[in-house]
Structure 1
């Protein structure tokens, strides 16, 4: 439309220029006319129609239908199963008929063979149905969809484009990436689509989404890649493709195609205040989904590499406090879990991982994805920033456990303190851990360090959301066990002209590094 409008404006402008009177003969010759602007041309790759591509792809896109038996709510045997409507309302009979049709014959509360009227106060489990989308990736009957489409299902059916319904077997699921792999049996090879390389997608590339929105059946929408590498807080491996191709409820698990008819994404989520498409949809990239799907199809489970560290983002202030050149980058190790591969390789709290297995770690969330995609048991180089320089270590990766690992801290009996010590300029008062403070702040029995007892509002400590009960473990990557050690470290940094001090703080949520601006102390030495 924009190109057409531009051409139309040019067409109207040219005759108007031609109607101007010619200059007098005596006037000097006008300067040479500037070269005419090139006419707009269609962008390469913009199709006149998607129809030939869609005709080829549609047979491989399937509908996923699931059935689940939903039990009555515990402790509420008399709870109504139908929505509450006014007695005698036309909707009363409608809802009753709808829910009755979804109950199995002969169930309590429903008349069966040889039975009389329904028993009103004995609700039975009802059958809940849901619809989603999927696609055939192998002609033998391997189908890919989202985990949330089939989660909790008692029966799964795959419906082909010709309305053939096939009972599906679940081969495996991966909730961390919301992927599931199914198998169906058919008398003949099924139409399948190939994987594409999502890493080659560019923002602005055309894409097609095909699925089953709102249970309507095969529906095609077109759009472009709106963004790459989106983190929508769905899991540790978020790397979504954002597209404006319309994606609605029921599209989940369906494919996102490039213009070669290759699957470059799996449509998974939308952002919508209304529940309908507003042009912000998210797809799992094929570069992530392909390897996971292959593992699920082969063995029913996914094996991921595991490093065993808790990490946080490197900010400009943290980078400055660590003396990092080139600005903030990498992933800061807040905690190297005891007994994990990282600790065994010598990675320590306060290290910044800059490169892993020869891949650059630009920001914190890059690291979990790179580690997870690395083979279990492989030995890989890890470049860390430590003590003002880069250092290379070799790590042998373990396998990511199903549950997060909780590493026990080494018990350490900190010296007692009789009164709070003020950290001047930071707005914090601290004490050594005592049995009274351990009980007051519900600290772990093995907790060690210096506990924060008071935080003054509108001070550096308050701005960084340090709270009473938080524990200071390190100052500038040096362990502290008494308030005096904390004040000594701070004063040393002030004498060195440092603008910030890097604190390792432990709270109920875990460990994190906190950079605090070192405002000048009031009236000399603190304490």
Structure 2
């Protein structure tokens, strides 16, 4: 299903297809990508969410997990954007990479990605649907003759609670002696905007892939819930549904729990962004901003008044490092601010 709008290369030109399924027009009969592994008939019930009820089924399940784990690691990448680190998954031979919106942060960012074999490639962030935390990156470096290793696309529409799954990521960044980290779990809850699993995830896994037991991509890691074994993933069908907008580099929506905050107050009527209050232990306080400071630039944005400062902050993501230019007692100063997360969002 994931392919009604993906981009195909035809005659050297980028052409928008009708969806992610266009990548694999005959996907149900012969899935493309290197991660698909057909399952033995002994696992029919297990693939439908049942627990193994015999030693033979348990051994078949273990063997299937091992094969899938070996394959899915090859298309999982570590993603570095500025100071932020996360994971991603390559889904086309020409280098489109799915990740989380809060990892990609904003369109047009330069990304450094590390492949499973340690090769580093450069890319550019494209569109983001912040409503569900879906982001897209394109590898800019020339693809090898055989293409980039890419995952087999699945669909989240048929995923049900109890479905066995394989979570992959590079927590803490790429480590050559460790490689991608594999976790096995099951889907606990299926919602329209998220899949909830008990796969144990930690920081740096965000943006990494979630596969079913046949090696088909069914989701992308979004965020940890109340526990490391209570995690939310973006259903893969959301990338399909909004592929054209993502590939065009559009940015829209706001992810609950990810509203940016720097912790300052100012006068709306001022023609300058004069800071009146700096919250205790806020990101602004940690950066060294004081009451009376006048914010001149927030990242690449020139600040004309407090409203424009609010707009510039709203366009960032928690965890993003932003250079601030301010004026204090007639002297211009530069400092780095780490955007915080609004606890009330």
Under a length normalisation based on structure 1, what TM-score does the superposition of the two structures give? 0.34
Cα shift at 1:41: 2.2
Question: Aligned equivalents of 1:294 and 1:205: distance in 2?
Answer: 29
Aligned to 2:78: 63
Q: Which residue of structure 2 aligns with residue 220 of structure 1?
A: 182
Partner of 1:301: 250
Secondary structure of 1:132's partner?
A: strand
Aligned match for 2:127, one of 164, 172, 180: 172
| 2:248 maps to 1:286 | no
1:162 and 2:138 aligned:
no
Question: Within the alignment, does 1:41 sit opposite 2:3 as a pair?
Answer: no
- Find the aligned partners of 1:251 and 1:43 in 2 and give their Cα distance: 32
Q: Is the 8 A contact 1:181 1:293 kept in 2?
A: no
Distance in 2, Cα, partners of 1:220 & 1:247: 10
Deviation at 1:262, TM superposition (A): 0.8
**Gaps (5+ residues) in structure 1?**
1-39, 68-128, 230-237, 305-527
Give the TM-score, by structure 2 length.
0.51
Shift of 1:187: 3.6
| Contact 2:132–2:194 (CA under 8 A) maintained in structure 1 | no
Change in 2 beyond 3 A, CA 1:136/1:216:
closer
State the Cα distance separating 1:43 from its structure 2 match.
Answer: 8.0
Q: Which runs of 4+ in 1 moved over 3 A?
A: 42-46, 152-155
Question: Distance between the aligned counterparts of 2:68 and 2:131, measured in 1?
Answer: 32
- Match of 1:87? none
CA-CA distance at 1:192 after TM superposition: 0.6
Q: 1:244 aligns with which of 198, 201, 206?
A: 198
Using the alignment, how far apart are the partners of 1:187 and 1:199 within structure 2? 32
- Report the counterpart of residue 192 of structure 1 in structure 2: 150
SS in 2 for 1:250: coil
Partner of residue 262 from structure 1, selected from 205, 213, 216: 216
| C-alpha distance in structure 2 between counterparts of 1:43 and 1:293, whole Å | 41
Structure 1 Cα separation of the partners of residues 158 and 61 of structure 2: 19
* RMSD of equivalent CA atoms: 2.4
- Shift in alpha-carbon separation, 1:294–1:207, aligned structure 2, 3 A: farther
Are 1:63 and 1:212, in contact at CA under 8 Å, matched by a contact in 2? Answer: yes
Quickly say closer, same or farther: Cα 1:206–1:171, change in 2 above 3 A: same
Relative to 1, partners in 2 of residues 1:172 and 1:260: Cα closer, same or farther, differing over 3 Å? same
Residue of structure 2 equivalent to 1:470: none
Q: Distance in 1 between matches of 2:200 and 2:243?
A: 25
| Residues 129 and 135 in structure 2, CA contact (< 8 A), matched pair in contact too | yes
Q: Which runs of 5+ in 2 are unaligned?
A: 1-52, 254-345
Alpha carbons of structure 1 residues 133 and 293: separation in structure 2 relative to 1, 3 Å? farther
Change (3 A) 1:224 1:149: same
Tell me, yes or no, if structure 1 residue 202 matches structure 2 residue 144. Answer: no
- Match of residue 130, structure 1, among 50, 64, 84: 84
Contact 2:81 2:112 (C-alpha < 8 Å) held by counterparts: yes
Looking at both structures, which has the greater relative contact order when contacts are Cα pairs under 8 Å and sequence separation is at least 6?
Answer: 2
